[in-house]
Structure 1
């Protein structure tokens, strides 16, 4: 080295940095929140249809004369009345929960609204499951009867009534399935927090 000279070594840059691709902020959580919203809309349709179908199921059969008739309606059985009221409550809850679901779409990392929804969804899942299950027992009894209790099946005579009631029960179980998925997706979204 001579006076004032410095030794520099040129090293070629070996690593090239390409464009950095950042993951979208809250992408998976936002997708789950959108699916949550769609499931809530589907559950609203199912519970509303179940409640209206059960509430309007009625059939009258003439017997000998016009003044002596047999009739079957949802209000003849307290189980079916509970079914209609429970499905109406669940439908109302789902409508009221839509703003919270939209908030979870807009702010996918917000824990508060999602935690509130999952707690309320658990309670409502119990209600809709109880209503659908109890109505299923009565519908089964209407279709098959109970020979040991000497109860005859009524669906051979009241075919329209039984079809309406059975359809309402199926709609209610569709809402139960939607709530199961809602709980699963809410738990997945809260898992990373």
Structure 2
């Protein structure tokens, strides 16, 4: 009754956000960032250690394929390492969001940085995917033969590292969506 009386007298008050309204989103965000670390770090390590050597006639003459033979693969390793470091550096902010679910400025900053990292990771993974596609299928109009028949282990390693990177892309998309949902929930409680 006392609250209703105050509201009738013209005194307005902000409705506080229900406790824990964004805590669930923040916990999921933290988990997605941890999975993103695993995906990007695993992709960088898998591609960075990817190599295969094939003997040619004798054991003294050999052909080898290494990730640094391709600039796209080098870009892929560097970009995945950068995004993995970014994920590690954003873990404390994600923990802060669990403890203080009303932090707006840091959520906006994370959305902007997540979007930049998403663009960077997508570019690196797409460049590497194009080379992996050519290695598997070749290009008959330019007389590029598929090399995965000879370098099967190398191609499998490159393809496997792409899976980790594209998984991290999905994690970044989900963290952006979760950040936007958390901000919209906060905006509803402010108005």
Shorter chain as normaliser: what TM range?
Answer: 0.7 to 0.9
For the Cα contact (< 8 Å) 1:132–1:169, is it kept in 2? yes
Alignment deviations for residues 62-89 of structure 1 (CA, whole Å, 9 cap, x no partner): 0011221111110000000000000000
Q: 1:165 aligns with which of 158, 176, 183?
A: 158
| Structure 1 counterpart of 2:107 | 114
RMSD across aligned positions (CA): 1.2
Q: Where in structure 2 are there 5+ consecutive unaligned residues?
A: 1-15
For 1:72 and 1:38, the matched residues in 2 are separated by 36
* TM superposition shift of 1:95: 0.2
User: What residue in structure 2 maps to residue 54 of structure 1?
Assistant: 47
Cα-to-partner distance string for 1:110-164 (whole Å, 9 max, x where unaligned): 1011111111101000011111111110000000000110000000010110000
The structure with higher relative contact order (CA 8 Å, sep 6+) is 2
Query: What does residue range 86-165 of structure 1 map to in structure 2 within 5 Å?
Result: 86-165=79-158
Q: Distance in 1 between matches of 2:36 and 2:113?
A: 15
CA contact 1:103–1:113 (8 Å) conserved in 2: no
1:24 Cα deviation after fit? 7.9
Q: Does 1:66 align with 2:59?
A: yes
Is 1:178 aligned to 2:171, yes or no? Answer: yes
The CA deviation string for residues 33-79 of structure 1, in whole angstroms up to 9 with x for no partner, is 00000000000000010000000000000001122111111000000
TM-score by length of 1: 0.86
